[in-house]
Amino acid sequence: MIGKGFLIGISIGMVLSGCGTKSKTPQETPTSGTIHISVDESYKPVIDSQIKVFNSTWPDAHIVVDYRPEAQCLRDLTTDSTRMVLVTRGLTPEEENFYNDSFHLKPTFGVLAYDAIAVIVNPANKDTLFDMKDLVNMLNGTDTRFQPVMDGASATSTVRFAIDSILKGNPLGKNVMAARGSEDVVNYVANNPRAVGFVGALWVGDRDDPADTSFLKKITVAAVQCKNCVAGKYVKPWQANIAWGRYPLVRSLYYILKENWSGIGNNFVNFLQYERGQLIFSKAYMWPAGMHFEIRDAELSK
């Protein structure tokens, strides 16, 4: 069960195991060497693809990645060993000052792409349309018809989004169950007719990915009341609905990099920000932040 709240973020007063940024090793260049990064586990499918393509171009640039809950990623960034994280928020001014004081550098950060939180139900569940009020009542424990499940008890970006953006700062109800990650959310919903899962949309959105195709056979992606549409319209967390601001549960993917020289970290960020990386985000049904993609209405002739 999930309690009344959780703590997320960086504790400015924490004691570090060795302050100061690790200096560049003589062997590392932008295209060779090793970097350790931590990534919000919600984004594992797309970041696995990004690293695979990056390594095909620079095989000597080794990216050692740990997929963790978002709060753990931010804690990792306060150590010397982790130079970069991919999470769903940037740094606060207080956190920037912390890194400047402790590591004598100012981390860079920015938005790479946009995705959404998908609401998923068991195929036997006939309720596949939800208003925002429905989600609020489900997550605060007022509506007990459903069993809501998330990708962790606390410290995940999905849990933080639910508290900040759906419940407007109020705690999750004691009825909310915690799975051990995104894949476990999907599996739990697939095996429990009353379950309603909250999971990153790319786990159920990439129809070109064999794993996601198998997930889609187990669950149904529900539609949520449209944010900028006429009354009574419901939309799913697909790419166009994210781009047009129709789907109400949209979030951003940020990079945060503490590297004040030209190393593998800067090279990887450039890769993610420009054409190839942005196209990989697009293929994963996310909305790229760094490239202009035009959306046009079209009609199919019979």
Higher-pLDDT residue of 205, 35: 35
Tell me which of 225, 243, 261 is where a domain ends. 243
Phi first, then psi: what are they for 196, rounded to 5°?
Answer: -130, 120
40 Cβ contact list (under 8 Å, min separation 6): 67, 68, 69, 70, 73, 86, 87, 88, 156, 157, 253
Lowest mean pLDDT among 64-68, 147-151, 212-216: 212-216
Residue pair 83/257 in contact by the 8 Å Cβ criterion: yes
Q: How far apart are CA 255 and CA 257, in angstroms?
A: 6
Domain extent for 71:
33-114+251-288
Residue 296 has pLDDT above 70, yes or no: no
Q: pLDDT tier at 221 (50, 70, 90 boundaries)?
A: very high
**What is the CA angle 56-60-63, rounded to 5?**
80
Token pair recorded at residue 236:
């799913």
Q: Is the pLDDT of residue 15 over 60?
A: no
Indicate whether 153 belongs to any domain.
yes
> Which of the four pLDDT bands, split at 50, 70 and 90, describes residue 18?
very low
Q: Which two tokens stand for residue 122?
A: 């068991």
Enclosing H/E stretch for 225: strand 223-225
Question: What tokens appear for 279 in the block?
Answer: 């196209």
The mean per-residue pLDDT over the stretch 264-289 comes to: 95
> What's the pLDDT tens digit per position in 163-200?
999 999 999 999 999 999 999 999 999 999 999 999 99
**pLDDT recorded at residue 1:** 46
Query: Same domain for 95 and 168?
Result: no
Q: How confident is the model at residue 297 (pLDDT cuts 50, 70, 90)?
A: low
pLDDT score, position 232: 81
Residues 87, 232, single domain; the answer is no
Confidence of residue 229 (pLDDT cuts 50, 70, 90): confident
Query: Is residue 19 in some structural domain?
Result: no
Contacts of 297 (CB under 8 A, 6+ apart): none
Q: Judge whether 170 lies within some domain.
A: yes
- Residue 16 counted as domain residue: no
Direct distance between the N- and C-terminal alpha carbons of the chain, in angstroms, rounded to an integer: 52
In a domain, 28, yes or no: no
> Is residue 56 domain-shared with residue 100, that is, in the same domain?
yes
- Give the pLDDT confidence of 70-128 residue by residue, as tens digits: 999 999 999 999 999 999 999 999 999 999 999 899 999 999 999 999 999 999 999 99
Q: Indicate whether 85 and 143 sit together in one domain.
A: no
2, pLDDT greater than 70: no
- Arithmetic mean of pLDDT, 145-156: 90
Give DSSP secondary structure letters for 155-223.
Answer: SSHHHHHIIIIISTTPPPPTT-EE-SSHHHHHHHHHH-TTEEEEEETHHHH-TTSHHHHHHHHH-EEPE
Clarify whether residues 105 and 202 are in a common domain: no
Q: Which residues pair with 250 in a beta bridge?
A: 116
Closest CA to 282 of 202, 200, 182, 215: 202
β-pair partners for 25: none
Query: Residues 129, 219: one domain?
Result: yes
Same domain, 137 and 78: no
Cα–Cα distance, 76 to 211 (Å, whole number)? 29
Residue 198 belongs to a domain:
yes
Residue 13 has pLDDT above 80, yes or no: no
Say which CATH number the domain at 145 has. 3.40.190.10
Check residue 153 and give its pLDDT.
73
pLDDT at 302: 52
pLDDT mean over 267-275? 97
Look at residue 25 and tell me if it is in a domain: no
Number of structural domains (the chain) is 2
Going by their DSSP bridges, the two strands 223-225 and 82-87 should be labelled as: unpaired
Q: Are residues 85 and 137 in the same domain?
A: no
- Top pLDDT among 213 and 246 is at 246
Asked if the structure places residue 23 within a domain, the reply is no
- Give the pLDDT score at 9: 43
Nearest CA-CA partner of 247 in 231, 235, 232, 239: 235
| Domain match, 136 and 219 both | yes
